[in-house]
Each structure stands twice: as structure tokens, then as C-alpha cells.
Amino acid sequence: METAVLLGFAAGIVVGLVLAWWRHARSGGGGVSCLLKGPARLLRERFERGEITRAEYEAKMRYLAECG
């Protein structure tokens, strides 16, 4: 009985963490979107939405070209 309770508790924690990670990834925080799209494409989308400035965009693109 105690083992079942502990396993249920652990399963609940795992499911909660996965759901939190999925929500974070879907909101643009990385995760799934970073795996499905390349970093350059993500940067371009952020620049087009106005989330980063042109200078930030160009600096990050230079960094990607050099490192990545």
C-alpha cells in the first residue's frame, strides 16, 4: 500500500514537470520549439515580432555563424 502511494506521488510529480515544461516550451520559452526549429529561424521570428532589436539580432546571428 505504501509503495503504491509513493509511486502515485512520484508519477504525479513527473506529469506535473512534463506539463510545466511543455507549457513553457509552447509559450516561446524554448524546449520543443528549439528542437523543431533552428536557432537562426527562432532569432528571425523574435526580431520580426519586435522582441529583440536589430543590433541584438545581428550580434546573435554573428555568434551563431562563428560558434554554431
Rounded Cα–Cα distance for residues 51 and 34 (Å)? 16
Domains in the chain: boundaries: 1-36, 38-68
Of the two residues 38 and 58, the one the predictor is more confident about is 58
- Work out the pLDDT band at 13, boundaries 50, 70, 90: confident
Rounded Cα–Cα distance for residues 68 and 39 (Å)? 9
Rounded Cα–Cα distance for residues 53 and 58 (Å)? 9
pTM: 0.46
The mean pLDDT of the chain is: 79
Q: What is the pLDDT of residue 51?
A: 92
